[in-house]
Structures are given as structure tokens and as C-alpha cells.
Amino acid sequence: MFPKLPQSHPPGLSFKVINSFLGTGDLQRARQLIDEIPQPDLRSWTRLISAYTQHGFPKEAIKIYSTLKLRNIRPDNILILSVAKACALASDLVKAKEVHEDAIRFGFQSDTLLSNALIDMYAKCRNVDGARQVFDDICVKNVVSWTSMCSSYMNCGLLRQGLEAFREMGLNGVRPNSVTVSSVLPACSELRDVNLGRQMHGFVIRNGMESNAFVSSALVNMYASCIRIREAEVVFSNMSQRDVVSWNGILTACFLNEEFEKGLALFYQMRNEGVKPNTSSWNVVIVGCTQNGRNELALELLGHMQDAGLKPNQITVISVLPACTNLESLKGGKEIHAFVCRNWLIEDLKVTTALIFMYAKCGNLELSERVFSLMPIKDTVAWNTMIIANSMHGNGKQSLFLFREMLDAGIRPDSFTFIGVLSGCSHSCLVDEASLIFNSMSRDHSVEPDAEHFSCMVDVLSRAGHLEEAYEFIQRMPKEPTAGAWGALLGACRVYKNVELGRKAASRLFEIEPDNPGNYVLLYNIFVAAKLWGEASETRKMMRDRNVLKTQGCSWVQVRNKVYTFVVGDRNSMQNCELYRFLDEMSEKMRLAGYMPNTEFVLQDVIEEEKEDILCNHSEKLAVAFAILNVNGESSIRVFKNLRICGDCHHTIKFIAKVVGLQIIVRDSLRFHHFSNGYCSCRDFW
Ligand code: ZN
Ligand code: ZN
């Protein structure tokens, strides 16, 4: 197939031929040729090994070197250097040690160039001892040797030692260059050591390295990480040439420092100045948006990113999914899910877990389950997410089932697993199961229960009506009981009409969180239900005197692409007139279906949300009515409320679900309620 080479050939021919094939990238042909030459020169072998490494086949390069050794070919320093690079790329420590031994055996340990490459090789294999050994053997250590040694420490995460080596370098009279500085600065960033960073900055100025883009970018990043936005800005504005790395540095600085608007403005400026944002730039801005509540903008930017021809990666997806979760935008979430499937990101554990959480929060537990069941490998976080998703929706038995399955699969539960499964038990009144799990935590799983686990147990006992036990449990807690624990007890006192314990729990809560209006409302409702009018109005007065502000109740629902928000008694728009007409018709149908207004609720909740008239027209009812009027073939509707659902609305929505024959899912501030056919999944405990 290939022309046979003449048996005798002038020296240097093999190199020329090999080189010409390697120039075209045809590694295999070059390899075949070199095997046909009786005695190829070392240069040809070196070139071949380097070519394999450069093309991303370091393991092949190392194999070629091994065959040379079998053939007793004596390598020179350049050949060993090329194999050292292959070992570095392959992170092959065993071979790296062999190459180091060869360097010593063939007498090259004082070769500075080779030694520097060996240090780098050990660093890439994350073996700092090997690097140090090579370094110590070098007679004349130059700036590259010192820089390589510093970077080795950094690569292995030994930041302090890296900085120590940097100091040693100065003491030995070797001047750092821009490569040294830009490789040491990230250590200051990671250690958040702004003093050392400033010293480095001084050194940079004294030595005229400011014009170096790598050094300046590293300085911007250092100040950004140390939350020194002004200094980051100064360095950035003095840069003569700003590349995308330095722009990303300053953007990160702004978002880390909660200078959201400024970061956004800089992002637009960057594009105006003709610097094309890369994937990291978009990711930085999208995370900034979701962390600052600008969820719509995050989704919009995702679109612009794709318009700019950039493909979102897993970091983008993980950053933007919380925006869908926060907006409860099932549609947006589904689009991202489709993107994930098209782009083979579905195998990424973090991406899939974020999808599970998004679907659960958007009220679609079936889709969470589907994504979860398709995961080939599930880690603790994935299991936790699925357990918590079920608990949020009140499926305690399923949480418990998943927990056991997780243990059977040999996955170690952590602190979050137990919070998930215990809160699942509390929503489903699984008292015995919860106690068993709680007692097994430190005994069988070496997870020490913390305040939150204790609160979960108080909640389990309270919801099941074991109020005295719950109170005793709080008093036996080894840690100071949290607001969560007392709050769980107070909530149960309202449901089980226990005035005495309600007073106790509320008085503790008023000390721990005096500004939480919810606690006053609960206590007020307890007094009203017990017809203790005096104490009820006292509670109301206390709230007014302490200037505790009520949170305005509001509900929202997504219809097609738009989110519609409703507040109490909102009769202004045409659309709302229609809603009231619908609700009037509905109450007539409900009356025929046997609905009796629960008068107890009419008195309660007045303090939490004002009522327009005796038939409450709370935001959740308006949102439910709107969603029903706009139903488009779906069998379920989803409504979200910022406060706890009110008793009367809860009672009414059960009937509405029965009359219209739809599943109505309402997420309030505590949990999901699945209403269907006259019942709610919370079993009237909310
Ligand atoms: Zn209501
Ligand atoms: Zn409910």
C-alpha cells in the first residue's frame, strides 16, 4: 500500500518523511513508516511521540516510548521531555515516576529544561512530592523552575505552601515574571487573602507588568473574590486591553458583591465594546439574575445566548432552572428539559436533580418521578430531592418508601435525607415510623440530629395530635428549640383547639421572632375558636402596638405563557367581574352539591387577610376561578399563594374541585394541597 523505503538511506531522511506525514495529521501512516525504517533517528521518535500527545493520544505516546525501551534505544533529554508531557496530559503517575527514573539513569537530572517539564508532569499527576524531589535536584533553578514549583503546590490545592515557595523564590534572588504572578494570584483569591493580593499588586506595578492581560485579569479576579469591588474596578478600568476573561472577572465581582444593576450594565457595555461574551460570561449573568430575583430576565438572557450562537452547558442549565422554579413556570421548565434531552445533558446528575426539583416545585410531581426513574445513577442529592418532593406534596408514605429503597441501594443518607423523610411523615401522620427513623439517625447512620430534625419530630407529634408529647419533646431537646419547633406546636394547637399550650408556644415565639405576623394570627385564631374574645382582641392590639406588618395575600397562576396575579377583593378589571360572576354561579352549584359554609372560618383569618364581605373573596379563590375559566384540555390546574391557604378557601376549593371535576393543586407557603372530588391530600391539616 505504501511505497517501500530503500534499505539504505541517508541519515535524516526518516525525520523528513515522518515530519511530512505528521504535518498532514496522519499519525498512523507516520507510525507505519517509522516501523519500516531499520534504524530511525531519535529525532523522528521524539517528533512522533510529541505528535501523538498534541493530537490528544498521550497513552499511545507513552506506549511508543515503552517499545523504544524494549528495543534498548537510549533516549536523549529531548525525547524524555516529550514523554514527560505525555505523562502530564494522561495524568499517569506510574509512568511519570518511570520517566523521572530514566532522566536520572541517563544523567539528565541537572538539565533545567527537562527538570522543569518533570515538575510540571508531577503537578499534573497531582503528586507534589515528586515535583519537589525534581525541584530540589536542580542545581541552577531559574524563574521557570520556581514558577513550575509554585504552580505544582497550587494544582495540588496546597495554596499556603505555594505562596511560601513564592516567598522563598524572592529570598533566593529570582525575580518572578508575569507567568509566576498570574499563577500565584489565584491562591490569594481562593484564600481571600486581600493583604497578600495587594502586595502582589504592588509588585506588579513596580515591575511594570500591568499591561499584561493575564496578570491584570488575575488581579481583577483576586479583588472580586476578596469582595473588593472598587479595587477590582480600578484595575479593570486601567487595563489597555480587556479580553473576555477580564470582563468575566469584573462581572463576577459585581454579582458577588450584590451590585446587580452595575453588573448588568457592564455586561451590555462589554457587548457594545465589541467583546463577544463566552459561555462563562452568560452563565455569570444568568446566575446573577436568578440570585437577585430577576427570573424573567434570566430566561430572556438564555434566549439571547442561544441567538448569539452559543450553546448552553450544564452550568447554564443548572443556573437557569431555579428561575423556572421561582416563577413556577412549568412551561419554561419543560422547554429547558427538552433542550437537556436534545443536547445529551440528561446524564449530568446535577442537571437531572435540578429538573426533579423544578417539576416538584411547579406542582407536577408525576414529571419529577419520571425524570428520577430514568436516572441511571442516583446519588444522595438525587434521592434527597425526590424524597423532599414527595414530602412537599404530602406523600409521606412514598417518601418513606423511597428512603428504604435508597438504603437498599446502598446510598448513604445525610442530614437532608432525614429532614425530607421526617417532614414526609409529619404530613401523613406516620408517628411510629418517624420515631423509629429519628432514633436510628445517629445509631445506624452516624448523622447527629440537629435543631431542624428535632423541629420535624415536634411537627410529627403535633400534627398527629400528640400535643403534650410534642411539648415534652421540645423541653427535652438538647439544643435551644427553634422557631420552627414552637411554630409547629402552635399550628397544631389551632387545629386541635388547645388554648393552654397555644399560649405557651406563642409566648416563646413572640420572644424568638417578634416580627412574624403569622404567630399572632395563629394565636388570635385559637382564642377566637375558643370564644375567648378578650384575649383575641388583646392579641390583635399587641400586633398593632408592636407594629407587626401583615403580609398582603396574593395568588398567581400561569395560563399559557403569562403569569396572572390576584389580590383580595380585586374588582377593578373586566376580567375580575367575570370571575365574580363565575364564583356566584359556583356557590349556587356548590349549595346544590351540599356545601355548607363553615362559619368558624368566617371569624377566623380576618386578622390575616381582610375580607370584602362575609363570603370571602381571597386571592386563591380568584386565581382558581380564573384558571378554571381558562382551562384548555388539562385535567388539573395549579395555583400558588404566598401565605398559608385560608380555612374558608380550603373548604370551598374542595367543593369547587368536586363540581368542576378537575384536580386543583394549590401551593401555599407551607406545602402543596391536591384537591379532587371533594377531598384534599392534606386531610384538612395545613
Ligand atoms: Zn379565603
Ligand atoms: Zn389541603
Ligand 2 mean position to 673 CA, how many Å? 4
Mean pLDDT by 10 residues, the chain (686 residues): 45 69 76 79 87 89 90 89 93 93 89 91 92 90 92 89 90 90 88 89 88 88 86 87 86 84 90 88 91 86 90 88 83 87 82 93 91 92 95 92 95 95 90 95 93 92 93 89 91 91 94 89 89 90 85 82 76 70 81 71 50 60 88 85 84 89 88 89 77
Ligand nearest to the CA of 617: 1
Ligand 2 mean position to 650 CA, how many Å? 6
Neighbouring residues of 330: CB distance < 8 A, sequence distance ≥ 6: 324, 359, 362, 363, 364, 558, 638
Q: Domain spans of the chain?
A: 450-545, 554-680
Amino acid at 557: V
Ligand nearest to the CA of 666: 2
Q: What is the distance between the alpha carbons of residues 396 and 373, in angstroms, rounded to a whole number?
A: 18
C-alpha distances in Å from residue 636, one per residue of 59, 84, 633, 664: 57, 63, 9, 6
C-alpha distances in Å from residue 600, one per residue of 441, 536, 556, 611, 647: 41, 14, 26, 14, 9
Q: What is the distance between the alpha carbons of residues 222 and 198, in angstroms, rounded to a whole number?
A: 9
Q: What is the pLDDT of residue 599?
A: 58
Cα first-last separation, the chain: 81
- What is 450-545's CATH number, 1.25.40, 2.120.10, 1.20.120, 1.10.287? 1.25.40
- The DSSP string of 570-626 is ---SHHHHHHHHHHHHHHHHHHHTT----HHHHHTTTTTS--SSSS---HHHHHHHH
Ligand 1 mean position to 495 CA, how many Å? 17
Sheet holding 636-641, edge to edge: 562-567, 554-559, 636-641, 663-667, 672-676, 679-680
Greatest Cα pair distance in the chain: 115
Cell 411554630 belongs to 487
Q: What is the pLDDT of residue 547?
A: 84
Protein residues within 5 Å, CB atom, of ion ligand 2: 673, 680, 682
Ligand 1 mean position to 347 CA, how many Å? 44
Ligand 2 mean position to 648 CA, how many Å? 11
Q: What is the pLDDT of residue 625?
A: 87
| φ/ψ of residue 347, rounded to 5 | -80, -10
Ligand 1 mean position to 382 CA, how many Å? 36
Ligand 1 mean position to 518 CA, how many Å? 15
Protein residues within 5 Å, CB atom, of ion ligand 1: 616, 618, 646, 648-649
Q: What is the distance between the alpha carbons of residues 517 and 655, in angstroms, rounded to a whole number?
A: 29
Ligand 2 mean position to 417 CA, how many Å? 24
Ligand 1 mean position to 622 CA, how many Å? 10
Ligand 1 mean position to 525 CA, how many Å? 14
Neighbouring residues of 150: CB distance < 8 A, sequence distance ≥ 6: 162, 165, 166, 169, 180, 183, 184
Q: What is the distance between the alpha carbons of residues 621 and 576, in angstroms, rounded to a whole number?
A: 11
Ligand nearest to the CA of 598: 1
Q: What is the pLDDT of residue 34?
A: 81
Ligand nearest to the CA of 667: 2
Ligand 2 mean position to 685 CA, how many Å? 6
Ligand 2 mean position to 681 CA, how many Å? 6
- The DSSP string of 347-413 is T-HHHHHHHHHHHHHTT-HHHHHHHHHT-SS--HHHHHHHHHHHHHTT-HHHHHHHHHHHHHTTPPP
Handedness of CA 211, 212, 213, 218 (dihedral sign): negative
Ligand nearest to the CA of 672: 2
Query: Can you point out the beta strands (E) in 405-453?
Result: none
Q: What is the pLDDT of residue 2?
A: 42
Ligand 1 mean position to 561 CA, how many Å? 27
Ligand 1 mean position to 404 CA, how many Å? 39
Q: What is the distance between the alpha carbons of residues 526 and 490, in angstroms, rounded to a whole number?
A: 9
Residue ranges of alpha helices (H) inside 477-573 are 483-495, 499-512, 517-529, 533-545
Q: Which residues pair with 562 in a beta bridge?
A: 559
